[in-house]
Amino acid sequence: MTALAGLRVLVVEDEYLLARQLERALRRDGADVVAVAPSVAAALAALAAGALPDVAVLDLNLAGEKAYPVAAALRAAAIPFAFASGYDAADRDPAYADAPHLNKPLTMATLRGCLARLVGRAAG
């Protein structure tokens, strides 16, 4: 059993190659990637479709649009999430200061530990 086994994860990332890589890495770790979305609209649609995850990774900047509406929806549904961004944490909306901030490029070890902590599992 890995730390992420069976964990339902939503990936919001606009860069296809990064999204695909993240999805594959999470699957290798035993996670269940419920949706991969390139935009706020696609992410909200995935949540509305009922694919509710246990945890989410949000790229902060989605082709120029900020991922905050997705963060708000996740917060409303009490789903924990982490931001991943090429920008510094200091540039972030202070309303979401409590969410972990992962610097890009992501490493699987960091992501694994972060997601495990968010759902209250041991980092494995």
> What is the Cα–Cα distance from 4 to 61, expressed in whole angstroms?
25
Residue closer to another protein by CB (options 17, 78) is 17
Q: Are 101 and 82 in contact (CB under 8 A)?
A: yes
DSSP, collapsed to helix, strand or coil, labels residue 78 as coil
Give whole-number Cα distances, 102 to 62, 105, 110, 115, 121, in Å: 15, 9, 8, 11, 18
Q: Binding to another protein by residue 33, rule CB under 8 A?
A: no
Of 6, 27, 69, 86, the one binding another protein (CB under 8 A) is 86
Query: For the CA atoms of 117, 106, 83, 85, what is the dihedral angle to 10 degrees?
Result: 160
For residue 93, state whether it binds another protein (rule: CB under 8 A). no
Asked if 38 is part of the footprint of another protein (rule: CB under 8 A), the reply reads yes
Among 32, 89, 100, 104, binds another protein (CB under 8 A): 104
Stretch that binds another protein, among 3-11, 46-54, 68-76, 104-112 (CB under 8 A): 104-112
Residues interacting with another protein, by CB under 8 A? 14-21, 38-39, 61, 63-64, 85-88, 91, 103-106
